[in-house]
Structure 1
Amino acid sequence: MDGHRVELPVPGRDASLGVIRYGHYGRPVLVFPSEAGRAEDFANNGMVEAVRTLVDDGRISFFCVDSADRYTWSDNSLSTEERAQRNHLYTRWLEESVVPWIGDQLGGPEPLISLGVSMGAYHAVHFTLTHAEVAPLALGLSGNYDVSSWHGWGERGDATYFANPTDYVAGMHGDHLDWIRSRVSLLLVVGQGAYETHPTGALPSSLAFAKLLELKGIPHQLDLWGNDVAHDWPWWQRQLAHHLPRFC
């Protein structure tokens, strides 16, 4: 099964998106690719090899998914609200196709780690914050967590609000916030080098989002890397190898 691509149906559409598993045992990790990426990208860019010992020793098992960004957040012909509405269908695919398939692979449901780089970091953190019962821990590498900063236009409505961690975390209160505090843990990792500020906005967004999490009392860690650390795969390999062993 290792490295074999499986196509899973998109609910309500005559379409499918792919999932690839790496590893046969260990803590399951749901992996989101960078913007408009595919399930193959994680391994093709050296991320599996960066933690090969964890995979071979049965400590970790990666479940890498395709993105749908080219039809959602990356389609600048659509308003921000329309892109958020389309992203809801991607969330349904994760809920109704991917998570059950992972459970079948594991012989039953197990808590997931959600992991992503660049725009995938947004997906990972958003998935944990909205599906904490499934994936209580998220690792976001070089993420931007405010969708309204992504070259958006048009009026923003409920779809954008509920797809935007910067919006809905700011609005959390009461019993729901207490439950999130008791369940969720987030790790935000970002460098201060090339492309982490322009054009991605990852550095300022990660700093601002960490402050928001602190204000709301949501467990998190911000790991700020140096001025030489770029928004690129070689650094994400090092960050993954640095952090992942303590979670598995």
Structure 2
Amino acid sequence: MTEKYHRWHSPNTNTDLEMLVFGTRGYPVILFPTTKGRYYQNKDFRLIESVRWFVDNGLVKIYCPDTIDDRSWYNKGIHPADRAKTYDGYDRMLVNELVPWAMHETGVNRVAVAGCSFGGYHAANFAFKHPEKVKHLFSMGGAFNIKMFTDGYYDDTIFYNNPVDFLPGNNHSDLWKMNIILGTSEHDICKGYNIELSNILKQKNIKHWLDIRPFANHDWPIWREMFPHYLSTIK
């Protein structure tokens, strides 16, 4: 399986970011790590290995970027308003840097986004904010309400990075053209977040699949089962 390492300075986050890219061609999948995870986490926990067949056969090209969780939502050393502003820079990085990069390399005009746990938040937030750029959303064990990180503070930047708040009023037509899968499990600590988001989508008549797997916990083994299944839905 082809693997390439990239490092670049992002003007939108004002920091250096690192990324692994797997494959040489195929549909572009931006795969986020879990809470404060690094660009190599999804490789280390064998999530990439679980979809080797798709990569080796040129069906997908997977981009695994760093996040800036420790500088944004998880940074208790700064005001919640600044946490949100910092994260907004990450969103601009995706819009202006990484997504155009992936689109250019693969020749598509809408990417797939995916992630486990807090990576599911990154994927869902980006997909619902920018549906014109996203064709497929695969969340595995995600949580989608960012208010737990804002210490009771609230402003417009938080609102527009909190999917359960901004999605009800978002009527972009491409939301109804997106392949949306919310993966969770019977004993997933984030199961309730997935049901809540599913209910919002139902109220808007947006087609999606709420995949609740039996017996499993909020952990990598079930995510390694989900991810290849979800990639098989890319058309």
Q: Does the TM-score normalized on the shorter chain lie above 0.5?
A: yes
Q: CA deviation at 1:26?
A: 1.3
* Residue 219, structure 1, aligned to residue 218, structure 2: no
Q: CA deviation at 1:77?
A: 3.5
SS at 2:139's partner residue?
A: strand
Aligned equivalents of 2:13 and 2:134: distance in 1? 26
Maintained 8 Å contact 2:135/2:177: yes
Aligned equivalents of 1:14 and 1:182: distance in 2? 34
Aligned equivalents of 1:15 and 1:240: distance in 2? 30
Residues 108-147 of structure 1: pairs in structure 2 closer than 5 A: 108-147=107-146
SS at 1:8's partner residue?
A: strand
* Residue 182, structure 1, aligned to residue 207, structure 2: no
Higher mean C-alpha displacement, 111-120 vs 68-77: 68-77
SS at 1:98's partner residue?
A: helix
Q: CA deviation at 1:74?
A: 1.4
Deviations 1:3-41 (A, max 9, x none): 221112221565211121101111110111101111111
Aligned equivalents of 1:77 and 1:210: distance in 2? 33
Letter matched to residue 239 of structure 1 = M
Aligned equivalents of 2:78 and 2:217: distance in 1? 30
Taking every aligned residue pair, what percent have the same amino acid on both sides?
26
Deviations 1:161-185 (A, max 9, x none): 000000001233xxxx151443333
Deviations 1:160-211 (A, max 9, x none): 1000000001233xxxx15144333321000122xx22xxxx1111111100
Maintained 8 Å contact 1:121/1:140: yes
Letter matched to residue 186 of structure 1 = I
SS at 1:100's partner residue?
A: helix
Aligned equivalents of 2:149 and 2:102: distance in 1? 34
Aligned equivalents of 1:27 and 1:128: distance in 2? 16
Maintained 8 Å contact 2:40/2:64: yes
Q: TM-score, normalised by structure 2?
A: 0.92
Superposition RMSD in Å: 1.9
SS at 1:47's partner residue?
A: coil
Q: 1:241 aligns with which of 224, 228, 233?
A: 228
Q: CA deviation at 1:2?
A: 3.0
Q: CA deviation at 1:93?
A: 1.4
Describe the shift of the 1:247–1:13 C-alpha distance in structure 2 as closer, same or farther (beyond 3 A).
closer
Q: CA deviation at 1:76?
A: 2.8
Letter matched to residue 223 of structure 1 = D
Maintained 8 Å contact 1:28/1:110: no
Aligned to 1:72: 72
Letter matched to residue 184 of structure 2 = V
Deviations 1:72-100 (A, max 9, x none): 11113344433211100111111222123
* Residue 85, structure 1, aligned to residue 85, structure 2: yes
SS at 2:131's partner residue?
A: coil
Aligned equivalents of 1:55 and 1:95: distance in 2? 24
Q: Which runs of 5+ in 1 are unaligned?
A: none
State the aligned residue count.
Answer: 235
Q: TM-score, normalised by structure 1?
A: 0.88
Aligned equivalents of 2:12 and 2:167: distance in 1? 29
**More strand by percentage:** 2
Describe the shift of the 1:13–1:180 C-alpha distance in structure 2 as closer, same or farther (beyond 3 A).
closer
Q: Which runs of 5+ in 2 are unaligned?
A: none
Maintained 8 Å contact 1:9/1:97: no
Residues 1-248 of structure 1: pairs in structure 2 closer than 5 A: 2-11=2-11, 14-106=14-106, 108-148=107-147, 150-172=148-170, 177=171, 179-193=173-187, 196-197=188-189, 202-226=190-214, 228-248=215-235
